Structure 1
């Protein structure tokens, strides 16, 4: 495992003229346009990084962008990898471990999610307080490399409280009405049934999606600080009055992109 990380890290390092940024941003469905807000210094397609699978999902371009945003050095995954694409969950975690090996310290995870709360409708932004892994899978399954992290890492505070507070403060500065809540992860790719949605709500979830949690677990394991934000693109099945589609996810993501963009651009300078 450590060899795969170092091979990927070396391939990225060879493409850079400066140190790898300490902050990494992962863009969810419909949020890829944030790349236009970055003053680009390097663009590396995933296919040119050993071990990085190529993203196959609409709305995920599959490029690593290196540059600055709000005058802050940042690396940006323009599109993420998903277990439902057929990638082993350990491979989904490889980019996160690679970034840590390159010197990253903070990981900002964004996603598109379905709301389990009627009052949190499409276009809302939810700062993630905690998560529920309902997938039955974990990127740490298998032999543990102590050079990367502990065999049994603590998950009491996956989403750093100080980063949550800074996100909420950034939202206030931008006059954005932010919610906070718990994100529940399923592998997908099928959307949830109404019965599953009712169960998830009773379990304490506020939003549901098909990403983020494997990356967050891997990040905590290797020592990164984590922040997370969900862009609510729809009400989940049984709450929504219509059938759910990925096209809706992308269209609402595009319409609400500026809100997420303003939040992240305001938040970035507060990290360092």
Structure 2
């Protein structure tokens, strides 16, 4: 058992989860970092415990939480970060891939949270940090099921926060925008793989790919977003939502409050990239 603050981070093998693992460890936390590719989890320092984790596998989820509790005796923060973008035309993405998108981005977080909440209630403290996306409010073509998972996790997190707050626990969301990581390239690869032969959506996929590539080049660094993870985990009075930049906040504001304006702007952007 340890008196150190403990954090469980999923999706710790790359991107934001990788950098958050290093940052929490540097700050003196005991970090239990989970990922399928356990060999890619940061190995530097005694504060990091790398654990093989597949959030779509219930047995793996149970083993992850059990190992942490048996080792540390408590869990202060769970960061549900594991996720990816199963992009492609909504008509053509196979149902097994749609289910996998929800299993990874939503149901994995739900099960891990259900497993950790009895521990947090017993210790009268805890924080669930759910990594959503501005994509929980804004949207773009080819991301139908990705956006659906992020909207789902936000609504679920808000309801959960009301239920667990009396026990000294908070459930909050971080909504990153684009990030300089492998997420964009994976989403684009998926969008091409999910098209049928001679797909009617080929022009759309090409124009969206061009726009997404440009957007990602001007996006936030994963180290900056790791700092946001840390702030959300440690703020004395946490917000329900954490966004990184003014542009992220502006896009979410427009999408929520002026949906017709957002749609028109999106259509204009799509036409622009169709001509490129």
What's the TM-score, normalizing by structure 1?
0.37
| Larger relative contact order (Cα-Cα within 8 Å, sequence gap ≥ 6) | 1
What's the TM-score, normalizing by structure 2?
0.37
- The structure whose residues are more often strand, as a share, is 1
- Larger radius of gyration, structure 1 or 2? 2
- The structure whose residues are more often helix, as a share, is 2
